Structure 1
Amino acid sequence: MVQDSDTTSEATSDENAARAQMRSTLVAAFSNLSTAYNLVNINLSQVIIEEQYCSGDNCNASVATTSSACLAGAIFGQLTFGYIGDCLGRGPALRLTMVLSIAGALVSAFAVPFSPNNPTSVFVFLSVARFILGAGVGGVYPLAATVAAEGSDAESRGRSVALVFSMQGVGQLLVPIVGMALVYTFGTYDDRVGSHQHMPGITWRLILGLGALPGLLLMPFQSSSRSEPRSVASPEDATASFTPGLWQALRNRRYWRNIVGCAGGWFLFDITFYGNTLFSPTVLRDVFEVDGPVPVVGPTLQKNLCWQMTVLALIGLPGYYMSVWLMDRWGRKNIQLQGFAFMALLYGSLAIWMEEMEEYPVTLLFVYGLTYFFSNFGPNSTTFILPSESFPTEVRSTLNGFCAASGKLGAVVGSSMFKPIIGAMGTSFVFLCCAACAAIGIVITVFCVDDRRGHDVMGDGDVALTDARMDPGIEACARQ
């Protein structure tokens, strides 16, 4: 009877652990959906805000600052919450990111000009709010990946983490769909759009404010993972359980090659991805040869920004699920290599033959959309996974955050330079720069990325253990 009781107790414990991990993985997945929606929704909102406060596309510098503010906040959040995740545990840190995401999204929805005489000061308000939002969504990157990786077995880890990340594709698709629904319901300030004009000012506020909804729905759920803080039984154990700070981890030469592979590849990729994603309205305007901003909604594909963004998202979305299907079969390194290779080929083709393809707008949009497909079926998925299995447990979330922050630094470079380069050199030159970034990404992947399929990330599979003698003045926190 005692043996049966013990067996039943163990089965119940395993079942509870499985449920807890499923819950935390779902929280991580929907956190990624919220992250993507909140990062991309400014694309649509800024067009309506410009119509309201700038009478069209007349405040480029302010728009660029607002778009970059969220990325700057994301860098801060990734560096900060990566370390918090190693100190306090992944679950509590992930809940903190939700609070910031909710606050940033809601405050963005209530943005107003600081002065009636300077209506464009609304962008200053938005920049502050979206920096707060960025800190929240940025923290999701290292924490969600780590939660998913540490809660999966070695054989299915790639598929599980890629599935969590694929929710970003759903979030990106929701932006134009929600935007169209709101524009047709409340209107816009664009006189070229034949929609009702009775409440146009509320449209962009709802687009931004709805970014708080996923976080509000997730708050009641408790997130946990297999790597929550360990208890410390003795002073000797306490010394061993200290968490190295970011600087101490970066000084450890055993991590350098993996850092170059993970952070360098992510930096190069995000230059191309966010440069195109955040300024897709500008790129699409050039692609379709439209004078002035592309209308948010309109009668044709050429003059309907929401439909254009929907088509791009739909072309790119299957790429996520190709990654989910093949991540544990082909391996992270091979998928990243083929993704960068096709991106270089497609961007190079756009740079060389864009003028010829402009005569066939649908074909041009499809080729441009394929860059998103191979981004998602390539480095957009693998760069999210690689840091979660390339570093040991005690610094995994910290260095994951550093790699993600390197990616967002690349996003800042891309988002801040794309619009001026398009204005000075044209869209073809931007595509040439994207092809060059992808080519360099191939080189980094070949020499600095390991394929760790089948390795356990919760102990024996750690690529290296933190050197306790790394620095006697180590800045750390004890696990409670």
Structure 2
Amino acid sequence: MTCLFLCAARTACSCTCQMRATIIAAISNLSTAYNLVNVNLTNEIMENEFCNGAHCNASIAATSTACLAGAIFGQLTFGYVGDWLGRGPALYLTMVMSTTGALVSAFAVPLNPRDPTSVFIFLSIARFILGIGVGGVYPLAATVAAEGSSSSNRGRSVALVFSMQGVGQLLVPVVGMICLYTFGDGMEHEKTKTVMNVKGLSWRLILGLGALPGILLMPFQRADSQAARPDTSQAPSMLQALSNRAYWRSILGCAGGWFLFDITFYGNSLFAPAILQDVFHVDTGSSTPVIGSKLQNNLCWQLAILALLGLPGYYVSVCFMDRLGRKNIQIQGFGMMAMLYTILAAFLDGMEDLPALLLFVYGLTYFFSNFGPNSTTFILPSESFPQHVRSSLNGFCAAMGKTGAVVGSSMFKPLITAAGTSFVFICCAVCALLGIIVTIFCVDDRRGQDMMGESEESLSQSREDPFIEASDCSR
């Protein structure tokens, strides 16, 4: 009877610990998404304040890519830390980094008083620090969610954690509208009524509020960070893991698909304002409208509509991830993206008098990104590699994704200027077609299968041990 009671207590504690870990992973993912894309709004506000409109494209590009560069470093570093130190402690460290970076970003000032645009140098440094923490969340959140799920519902559980990215992206224009309609954008030309008009306050709040999830999570993560360090005798270095030929095909499938997808996804997300201006044929003049009275001149509403059109895609993925499988969802997602980008490239000029239709079709690219490779690339690495290298190789695949994001974010705005938005959409369609090829030949359908490399001996030992240790929650 005592054994039954202890087993029941252990099961209840295990479920509680895993639920806590999953919630932490989900909120961490929300924080990651918000902090990555809030710059696409604040850049436009800061351009108006410090550059008198779109006259500092190089500085804006550097600010946009600094966080991505930091994310690559964080993914490579904290992916390995997750295997070496434990998932919980590593996730705690990533939130410390991202919280610090977000807070410092809110206090950005020009480094050179004679050059107002030097504020973007300060912001780039702060967002690089932010990116290190943001990047580390990717492999750790996915691994925590996957390892705590059964084989029958693993896809749904990890996809549900990842869906918080959509919530984070929607929060950017929502928080932006609250701040801008309350405090204004600081521009004298502003015609929209606001409670007050304080220069610089809105973009500082939008950036600084990115620290709030981390601040709220820290008390709950601290217990995990103090847990005993796991056995690392089987944890090889990143180079050792990458040199193992047994993983090469899966690495190509997971990392390659993520790289190609993020070229399109982050290129569009970070430079959606530039694309939307061209889509709506807005003559911005000396400054970019962010809260105008019409949809064509209200960037916040445009970004909110895009986020709302894309958000259901996350939850459709949650519903079908275990039924259709990751591979099939990724193929259909890439396929629909290729078709939609081709339509946009071919008929962009012809639909110039139908801005609502253009916005809807453009929004569908986000829907099928989310009901497609955006969700699957997050899940695949966590179940394609053995436990002792799972977090490390997950981090490497995520880093290759963010490398693609750097490519997209650094090239999209110059390409729009040089060749037009239609050419950018053609490039996106080509990336999607290449993603289909990589997925077909290099991705395995592992739905319903056990996680690779789990130790049956360790699992049986945990079932036999009726005592509950605090370290049970560490991973």
Q: TM-score, normalised by structure 2?
A: 0.93
Identity of aligned residues (%): 68
Residue 112 of structure 1 is aligned with which of 99, 105, 109? 109
Give the Cα–Cα distance (whole angstroms) in 2 for the partners of residues 202 and 224 of structure 1.
Answer: 36
Paired residues of 2:46 and 2:203 also in contact (CA < 8 A): yes
Whether contact under 8 Å (1:281, 1:294) holds in the other structure is: no
Q: How does 1:115-134 map to 2 (within 5 A)?
A: 115-134=112-131
Q: 1:430-458 deviations in whole A, cap 9, x for unaligned?
A: 00000000000000000000010111116
Which whole-Å deviations, capped at 9, do the CAs of 1:29-70 have from their partners, x for residues lacking one? 000000000001101111111111111111110000000000
Residue identity matched to 1:209 = G
One-letter amino acid of the structure 1 residue matched with residue 417 of structure 2: G
Q: How does 1:429-440 map to 2 (within 5 A)?
A: 429-440=423-434
How far apart are 1:296 and its partner, in Å?
Answer: 1.0
Question: Which residue identity lines up with residue 192 of structure 2 in the other structure?
Answer: G
Match of 1:257 among 242, 249, 252: 249
Matched, 1:185 2:194: no
- The 3-state SS of whatever aligns with 2:446 is coil
Q: Does 1:404 align with 2:398?
A: yes
Instruction: Give the equivalent residue in structure 2 for 1:55.
Output: 52
Shift of 1:228: 8.2
**1:229: how far off?**
4.9
Superposed displacement of residue 405, structure 1: 0.2
Offset of residue 460 of structure 1:
5.0
Which residue of structure 1 lines up, in the alignment, with residue 135 of structure 2? 138
User: 1:14 maps to what in 2?
Assistant: 11
8 Å contact from structure 1 (residues 455, 461) kept in 2: no
1:208 — aligned with what? 207
Q: Is the 8 A contact 1:193 1:297 kept in 2?
A: no
Give the one of 309, 314, 318 matched to 2:308: 314
**1:219-277, CA deviations, whole angstroms, 9 ceiling, x for partnerless residues?**
0113759x98545xxxxxx7xx2311111111110000000000000000000000000
1:368 corresponds to which residue? 362
Quickly say closer, same or farther: Cα 1:358–1:461, change in 2 above 3 A.
farther
Within 1, Cα distance between the matches of 2:110 and 2:276?
Answer: 29
Cα RMSD (Å): 1.7
Distance 2:400 2:229 in 1: 26
How far apart, CA to CA, are the structure 1 residues paired with 2:165 and 2:125?
A: 24
The letter for the 2-side match of 1:208 is L
Give, as a single letter, the amino acid of the residue that structure 2 aligns with 1:347.
Answer: Y
User: How many residue pairs align between the two structures?
Assistant: 451
Q: 1:460 to 1:28 in 2, by over 3 A?
A: closer
Offset of 1:291 from its aligned partner?
Answer: 1.2
Separation of aligned partners in 2, 1:193 and 1:401: 46
Change (3 A) 1:254 1:193: farther
Spell out the pairing of 1:16-55 with structure 2 (5 A cutoff): 16-55=13-52
Partner of residue 65, structure 1: 62
Query: Does residue 351 of structure 2 align to residue 357 of structure 1?
Result: yes
CA distance, structure 1, for counterparts of residue 434 and residue 191 of structure 2: 43
Q: How does 1:150-169 map to 2 (within 5 A)?
A: 150-169=147-166
User: Where does structure 1 lack aligned partners over 5 or more consecutive residues?
Assistant: 232-237, 463-478
* Kept after mapping to 2: 8 A contact 1:317/1:373: yes
Q: Could you tell me whether the CA contact under 8 Å between 1:36 and 1:168 is conserved in 2?
A: yes
Q: 1:28, 1:147 within 8 Å by CA — same for their partners in 2?
A: yes
Equivalence for 1:388? 382
SS of the aligned residue for 2:210 comes to helix
Matched, 1:288 2:268: no
8 A contact 2:386–2:454 mirrored in 1 = no
Determine which of 348, 359, 370 is the counterpart of 2:342.
348
Partner of residue 467, structure 2:
none
Per-residue CA deviations over 1:403-451 (Å, capped at 9, x if unaligned) read 0000000000000000000000000000000000000000000000001
Name the SS for the 1:221 alignment partner.
helix
Verify the 8 A CA contact 1:31 1:140 in the aligned structure 2: yes
Alpha-carbon distance change, 458 to 6 in structure 1, aligned in 2, over 3 angstroms = farther
The amino acid across from 1:436 in the alignment is V
Q: Is 1:275 the equivalent of 2:267?
A: yes
Q: Which residue matches 1:248? A: 240
Contact 1:74 1:134 in 2 (8 A): yes
CA gap of 1:254–1:458, structure 2 versus 1, over 3 A, is closer
